[in-house]
Amino acid sequence: MKKFYITTPIYYVNAEPHIGSAYTTIAADILARWHKLKGEEVFFLTGTDEHGQKIQEKAEEEGLKPKVFVDKISKKFQETFKLLNIQNDNFIRTTDKEHEKEVKKVLQELYDKGYIYKGFYESFYCIGCEQYLTHSDLLDGKCPIHKRAPDLRKEEAYLFKLSEFQNKILKLIKSGEFEILPNKRKNEAINFIQQGLQDISISRLKEKVSWGIELPFDKNHTCFVWVDAFWNYITGLKQKNKFDKFWPADVQLMAKDILRVHTTIWPALLLATGNKLPKRLFIHGYFTVDGEKMSKSLGNVISPDYMVKQYGVDSLRYFLMRNIPFGEDGDFSENLLVERVNNELANELGNLISRVLSLAERKLNGKASKGFIDEKFADRLDVDKISNLMDNIELHTAINEIMRFVKECNRYINEEELWDVEENELEVYIYTLLEAIRIISILLSPYMPQTSEKINSQLNIKAGDFGDCEFGLVEIYKIKKKEILFKKFDVPKPPEYHEKKEDEIGFEDFDFRVGEIKGVKDHPNADKLYIEEIDLGKDTSDKLQVVSGLREYYKKEELIGKKVIILRNLKPAVIRGVESQGMLLAAVKEKKLSLLIAPKSRNGGRVFINLREKARKEVTINDFEKILLKTKDKKVVYQDMILRTEEEEIKLDKNIGDNAKIQ
């Protein structure tokens, strides 16, 4: 039996999964399911990358031991992938004992073979990327991605003889033996390697980075996170005793951000240890959100959990593949998702199934036997073309082709005016269309497994595989029409922001964020006021000082650790001699006061309604008076729309009743 081994990058656990990590993993899942459909034996690996300085720092920031911290986030990745209906065969964590053992073995082997030697290393290093940068990578002296100046590192280190592999790798890439797709990425890799590969440091002093795998031959050093990370692709198989069968990988998926390391260090490590290179790397594009780079500080990081809850897993899977040509950069927008769900999934696919099944039920008692097949209609589907597109990882074109046939089916119903066809003639048409739907369900199953199951259950048939994609296989249909497949959603309102006049003000102008109260002290000159220190998360703006009149309502110790809502872009003001850099929101009614809280949300998370838009640079307290926020059913609303963060709806700390004003 033919085998197929596919991998995703293993994701850093410095942040929870977002739509970017979901994208690669869904694409890999689609390919894995496709190859299973063709009867191949498939192994699909994903996982988390858990060592290194970036993660060590993040854990410290949260006041957690690194292992406790990585356990928490890795679990979150696994939960999200379940929600996304990902069928991976293993989930590797670089803190797995087997993995750590395997990496040490490899390091020892490289050392014994003379590929690792001791020296000094000096270079720019961006912790955000966890990668070394060259002079030409820098923009105004800063990392162009993370906008921070890299560290200049000079320290005792072990180096890996990367330079030795330059020509070999180049030859393998050029010959296509180590295939890099799309072609433009292959050229990029060649250009980069031709500029010359230098030996790289593969260790850090343990006193600086303790959260890493110790070098087996020097206990004062830990292993560079990438060397550790790459080996996941191999340990992930070994953990399940599948190495001999599945190595080398057939496809390794990733975005362009990690192309360079995957075409230099990774193949060099494999060559140095006498392993085969992966057959193919496929590099997809990077996407933005509503036209902007996804970033925590813009508050536009999209959580896959939220999208699934809102629109269903298959709508998200479909949209991600349908909207962005696979391999190109693109944009994610909730509005576009809703449009595509409404126009393509509800109006075309859902409608097709509902029309055919209704006709069959109404006019044929739900039964249709095999008869003559209208070949001219059947020819409108080109299964081989779709199969080739899938094999070539043209995921976007393949789904377009399937959906084109869905449209053809609807057109056929209209052309033949099936609603007017007599019962005795209708059966032939309905049988043909049911066969079309059955085949569509097979072809769609990698993209939308849940929908495919629902279709099969309405057709009352078992799931088929790729070999079943031909007309005339089912002898008789006895269908069971059930609920509609896709409901329509209201398109989130187009951003008013762009249409508004200068002086008009709306909710989206306000930058409300989740902040954690870290410290509280009495205001020295006012007996009703506290001064709070608020943590807004590292990516936002670190800590703020806020003055607020909570002293009559809350004890200091009650406030510590609470996750409250802060208006962050409020013009700073000096209140009785102390600067206040924001405003803490509370609901107030008849001498009662309750803080607005978001206990499950991350620090710095944006509070929004249904649109995430850029807030104004600064607002005034007069502006705030113009938007009326109030309580309703234990929630907080603006014009009847509920305020929320990505994780949850905003709550009230104390019971205060409806119509309490927020101030």
Applying CB under 6 A, the residues found at the interface with ligand MSP are: 9-12, 20-21, 23-24, 49, 229-230, 232, 254-255, 257-258, 286-287, 294
- Closest-CA residue to 629 (of 660, 591, 584): 660
Contact 37, 48 (CB under 8 A): no
Complex with ligand MSP: residue 29 or 49, whichever CB lies closer = 49
Q: Regarding beta strands 330-332 and 287-289, do their DSSP bridges make them parallel or antiparallel, or are they unpaired?
A: parallel
Nearby residues of 176 by Cβ (< 8 Å), 6 or more positions away: none
- In whole angstroms, the minimum distance from the beta carbon of 468 to ligand MSP comes to 33
Q: How far is CA 392 from the centre of its chain?
A: 23
Q: Residue 255 Cβ, how far from ligand MSP at the closest point, in Å?
A: 3
Q: Which residue is nearest to ligand MSP (CB)?
A: 20
Nearest approach, Cβ of 74 to ligand MSP (angstroms)? 12
CB of 523 to ligand MSP, least distance (A): 43
Q: Which long-range contacts does 438-441 make (Cβ < 8 Å, 24+ apart)?
A: 438/464, 438/468, 438/473, 438/474, 439/381, 439/383, 439/468, 439/469, 439/470, 439/471, 440/349, 440/402, 440/405, 440/406, 440/409
Q: How far is the CB of 349 from ligand MSP (least distance, A)?
A: 26
550: amino acid identity, one letter: L
Between residues 20 and 446, which has the closer beta carbon with respect to ligand MSP? 20
CA angle, 32 then 36 then 41, to 5°: 95
Shortest reach from residue 340's CB to ligand MSP, in Å: 18
CA distance 44 to 4: 8
Nearer Cβ to ligand MSP (24/351)? 24
CB of 278 to ligand MSP, least distance (A): 12
- Cα separation, 150 vs 251, whole angstroms: 33
Identity of the residue, 47 or 604, whose beta carbon is nearer to ligand MSP in the bound complex: 47
For the record, the structure tokens of 649 come out as: 């709806």
Q: What is the DSSP letter of 639?
A: T
Whichever of 294 and 428 has its CB closer to ligand MSP, that residue is 294
CB atoms within 10 A of CB 370: 17
Question: Quick one: 12 or 405, whose CB is closer to ligand MSP?
Answer: 12
Q: Is 200 left (phi over 0), alpha (psi -120 to 50) or beta?
A: beta
Closer CB to ligand MSP, 257 or 649, in the complex: 257
For 561, other C-beta atoms within 10 Å of its C-beta total 10
Instruction: In angstroms, give the least distance from the CB of 456 to ligand MSP.
Output: 31
Distance between first and last Cα of the chain:
67
In the complex with ligand MSP, the residue whose CB is nearer, 259 or 598, is 259
Least Å distance, CB 132 to ligand MSP, is 14
Query: Smaller CB distance to ligand MSP: residue 10 or 215?
Result: 10
In sequence order, what DSSP letters do the residues of 228-267 get, joined into one string? Answer: HHHTHHHHHHHTTT-HHHHPSPSEEEEEGGGHHHHTTHHH
The string of DSSP codes covering 89-120 is SEEEETTSHHHHHHHHHHHHHHHHTTSEEEEE
